Chain A
Amino acid sequence: MSQPNYKLIYFNARGRAEHIRFIFAYAGIEYQDERIPREKWPELKKRMPFGIVPVLEIDGRRVDQSNAIARYLANKYGLAGKDEWEAMQCDALVDALGDLKQVLWQLRTEQDPIKKEERKAKLMRETIPYYLSKFEKIVSENNGLSVGSGITWCDFVFAVSLENFEAIFGKSSLDYYPAMKSLKNRIYALPSIAEWVARRPHTES
């Protein structure tokens, strides 16, 4: 059966596309990794379904929403857990991480300097530890992965986010969360992932 022609359209960044690139690498699927230069974005934005990227073009047809794309590939290439219950657990963890990222986004976009400091303090003192300790417990209980039966797309979402976390807060920032640190290291040590990480464009974010 011939494989679809995949083109992943995003900026020259890891951002919201990297977990999709990880899935392609792990599953050994060829795709076009199109990276839009920032100057071209205003024009290309008009041609995206909802003015956002990443967009996956499959045989010429465009779809957006990074997690919808990731889930589609995960279902196709055996990375969505062993049954619907595990699939739901993957979805729930990815969405919970998404909730945390929303709080981070609110910090980044806060204009008022005093409120920004307040948001930052709350994030560091409460929100991040709250979420990380819950993820830590779940991953510990699931043999070091997001769900017990094996590697899923949720593990790639976590690994990418944890790489960003270490980049922001330092190499030792995950020391308090050994299961999360192990998960990240385990994913990055997979041969297909290590090979991708070595040859991918080096970008700030």
Chain B
Amino acid sequence: MAPVYKLTYFPVKALAEPTRFLLKYGGLEFEDERFEREQWPQIKPTMPFGQVPVLSAKGKQYHQSIAMARFFAKQVKLVGSDEWEDLEIDSMVDTVNDLRQKIAVYSYEQDAAIKESRKGPLMNETLPYYLERLDKIAKENNGHLACGKLTWADFYFVALLDYLNYMTESDLTAKYENLEAVKNNVLSIPAIKEWVETRPKSDL
């Protein structure tokens, strides 16, 4: 009997969305638990490291969004065909995650003056640096981020895009045709297309 999965997160896409994409792609049933923000102070102490997303399965809680994405990627066969390919995929996922963190340092800054001072370097240096390199990799890999084929690295990037775009108030891939191809290659998959159309709506 297949285990039952519950994914607990805020009522947004952000860091849970890569796992949701993978579950939908694999046709894996799961409870998509979204709590109201006001409930977070009560829920936080019940989470393994005080953070979400958390995956509940086999009577246990599993945490860390990338760890759970990798776990499901294995189930739905979006991993590499050997360790060498998995290394390439992991490297790309962690690179996208680095980019997310650099954007988040700007986006979540409370002090308006400091936030403003971070905007220039982010928009003019960091984003082009990463996007140009990612675009080049996407070109070399036929519209994918690794191994020349569809892998969970593509899912991770595309599922996170709305969140990254929200934080930067821009459309990050609009000027990069190979990254647009990565995006379209994922969004055109029937299971993903249907999920995007029917999922609960949120800004990030």
Q: Hey, which bits of chain A sit against chain B, CB under 8 A?
A: 49-51, 56, 58, 63-65, 67-69, 71-72, 75-76, 84-85, 87-89, 91-92, 95-96, 99, 102, 130-131, 134
Whether A64 pairs with B95 at a CB distance below 8 angstroms is yes
Given A50-B98, A87-B71, 17 other A-B residues pairs in contact with their CB atoms under 8 A = A50-B130, A63-B87, A68-B93, A71-B87, A71-B90, A72-B83, A72-B84, A72-B86, A75-B86, A85-B58, A88-B68, A89-B67, A91-B67, A92-B64, A96-B64, A130-B50, A134-B48
Q: Which residues of B contact A92 (CB under 8 A)?
A: 62-64, 67-68
The 9 A-B residue pairs with the shortest CB-CB distance in the complex, in nearest-first order: A68-B90, A91-B67, A72-B87, A65-B94, A92-B64, A92-B67, A68-B91, A95-B64, A88-B71
Q: Which residues of B contact A68 (CB under 8 A)?
A: 87, 90-91, 93-94
Indicate whether A84 sits within 8 Å of B49 (C-beta atoms), given known contacts A50-B95, A68-B90, A92-B63. Answer: no
Nearest-neighbor residue (CB-CB) of B70 within chain A: A91
Determine if B74 is an interface residue (Cβ-Cβ < 8 Å). yes
Whether A134 pairs with B49 at a CB distance below 8 angstroms is yes
CB-contacts of B76-131 with A (<8 A): 83-84, 86-88, 90-91, 93-95, 98, 101, 129-130
Q: Hey, which bits of chain B sit against chain A, CB under 8 A?
A: 48-51, 58, 62-64, 66-68, 70-71, 74, 83-84, 86-88, 90-91, 93-95, 98, 101, 129-130, 133
A-B contact pairs, 23 of them (CB 8 A): A49-B91, A50-B95, A50-B98, A50-B133, A58-B84, A63-B87, A64-B91, A65-B91, A65-B94, A65-B95, A67-B94, A69-B87, A71-B86, A72-B83, A72-B84, A85-B58, A91-B66, A91-B67, A92-B63, A92-B64, A96-B64, A130-B50, A134-B49
Report the bound CA distance from A2 to B95 in whole Å: 30
Report the bound CA distance from A56 to B91 in whole Å: 11
Q: Which residues of B contact A102 (CB under 8 A)?
A: 101
> How many Å from the CB of A1 to the closest CB on chain B?
13
Cβ-neighbour of B67 out of A64, A88, A130 (below 8 A) = A88
Whether B71 pairs with A63 at a CB distance below 8 angstroms is no
Report the bound CA distance from A85 to B68 in whole Å: 10
Report the bound CA distance from A50 to B68 in whole Å: 25
Nearest-neighbor residue (CB-CB) of A68 within chain B: B90
Nearest-neighbor residue (CB-CB) of B55 within chain A: A88
> How many Å from the CB of B30 to the closest CB on chain A?
15
Q: Which of B64, B74, B93 has the most CB of A within 10 A?
A: B64
Report the bound CA distance from A87 to B70 in whole Å: 9
Whether A99 pairs with B51 at a CB distance below 8 angstroms is yes
Cβ-neighbour of B62 out of A50, A71, A88, A99 (below 8 A) = A88
Whether A88 pairs with B70 at a CB distance below 8 angstroms is yes
Cβ-neighbour of B90 out of A51, A58, A65, A99 (below 8 A) = A65
Cβ-neighbour of A67 out of B63, B84, B90 (below 8 A) = B90
> How many Å from the CB of A84 to the closest CB on chain B?
6
> How many Å from the CB of B47 to the closest CB on chain A?
11
Report the bound CA distance from A96 to B64 in whole Å: 7
Whether A63 pairs with B91 at a CB distance below 8 angstroms is yes
Nearest-neighbor residue (CB-CB) of A62 within chain B: B91
Q: Which residues of A contact B94 (CB under 8 A)?
A: 65, 67-68
Q: Which residues of B contact A49 (CB under 8 A)?
A: 91, 133
> How many Å from the CB of A56 to the closest CB on chain B?
8
